[in-house]
Amino acid sequence: MEAALIEGGLVMAIPLEHQERIRRILGELDCPQKIPCCCRDFEALSRVDRVGDTGLIECLDGRGPICPFGLPFGYAIFCRCPLRKYLSDCLGR
């Protein structure tokens, strides 16, 4: 069953079993750049692509180079943001 997760006026349908974990991640997350995906704006999530079964996600967004969670490797930038990783891994978003 899904319910609305309301954070800072934003409503997003999130399965109930994931809401508490997301709130915990948001409570611990401090994004010095205030990039929208870390500021509770789930509609502005960066585009990512999962890299096979490696557990890595590649940032496909132009914000990757300025993101404090971006990890440049060759021509790619991998995302180390715990919120973005959780949303990608557990919710496919």
86 or 35, which is more confident: 86
Predicted structure pTM score: 0.73
Spans of all domains in the chain: 2-91
pLDDT tens for each residue of 37-88: 655 556 677 788 888 888 889 998 887 888 888 899 999 999 988 888 888 8
| Predicted pLDDT of residue 58 | 92
Tokens read off for 52: 């096979």
Distance CA(33)–CA(92), nearest Å, equals 24
